[in-house]
């Protein structure tokens, strides 16, 4: 299940900043990276099964292994884990409402934490002229 309208998709920031904010919100990247990508996971064990909230990121520049990348976030997803096959994200999966609500809350908190560091570009030429004056 992909989460729509989180305003996280395509957000770009320094790798260290993203890692710190994700960790603060319970999303870990324990070995789920290569030199161009990272996956931040939060595991949920419920009576309905084991689920993972995942936020994927890829490097716009730099090297993830050297911790000097600039990452762009992708659309967050919730998947159900099936032993021994792995995590399924399919549309035919049923996700508990309480879990979807909790994931929405986590993603909103991540967005708020990241917003504190986002610098918006001027939206029009007149605003830019005012800044340069």
For 17, phi then psi, to 5°, come to -60, -50
Q: What is the mean pLDDT of residues 38-59?
A: 95
Banded model confidence at residue 15, pLDDT cuts 50, 70, 90: very high
Question: Is it the case that residue 20 has pLDDT exceeding 80?
Answer: yes
Question: Is it the case that residue 128 has pLDDT exceeding 60?
Answer: no
Q: State the number of CA atoms in the 13 A half-sphere of 19 facing the CB.
A: 18
Question: Is it the case that residue 10 has pLDDT exceeding 60?
Answer: yes
The distance of Cα 105 from the centroid of its chain, to the nearest Å, equals 13
Q: What is the mean pLDDT of residues 48-61?
A: 94
The answer to whether 9 and 74 are in contact (CB under 8 A) is yes
CA 57 to each of CA 23, 74, 99: distance values in angstroms, whole numbers, following the listed order = 14, 6, 22
The chain-wide mean pLDDT, for the chain, equals 87
The pLDDT score that the predictor gives to residue 130 is 42
Query: 41 pairs with which residues across the strands?
Result: 28, 54
Share of the chain above pLDDT 90, in %: 65
The SS3 assignment for 79 reads strand
- The pLDDT tens digits for 80-127 are 999 888 888 888 888 999 999 999 999 999 999 998 886 544 444 444
Rounded distance, CA 45 to CA 48, Å?
8
Q: In this predicted model, which residue has the larger pLDDT, 31 or 56?
A: 56
């Amino acid at each position: 299940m992909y989460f729509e309208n989180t305003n996280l998709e395509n957000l770009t920031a320094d790798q260290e900043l993203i890692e710190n904010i994700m960790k603060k919100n319970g999303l870990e990247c324990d070995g789920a990276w290569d030199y161009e990508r990272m996956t931040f996971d939060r595991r949920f064990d419920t009576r309905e099964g084991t689920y993972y909230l995942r936020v994927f990121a890829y490097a716009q520049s730099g090297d993830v292994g050297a911790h000097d990348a600039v990452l762009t976030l992708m659309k967050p997803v919730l998947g159900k884990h099936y032993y021994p096959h792995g995590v399924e994200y399919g549309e035919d999966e049923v996700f508990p409402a309480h879990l979807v609500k909790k994931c929405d809350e986590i993603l909103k908190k991540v967005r708020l934490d990241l917003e504190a560091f986002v610098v918006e570009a001027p939206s029009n030429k007149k605003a830019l002229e005012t800044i340069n004056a």
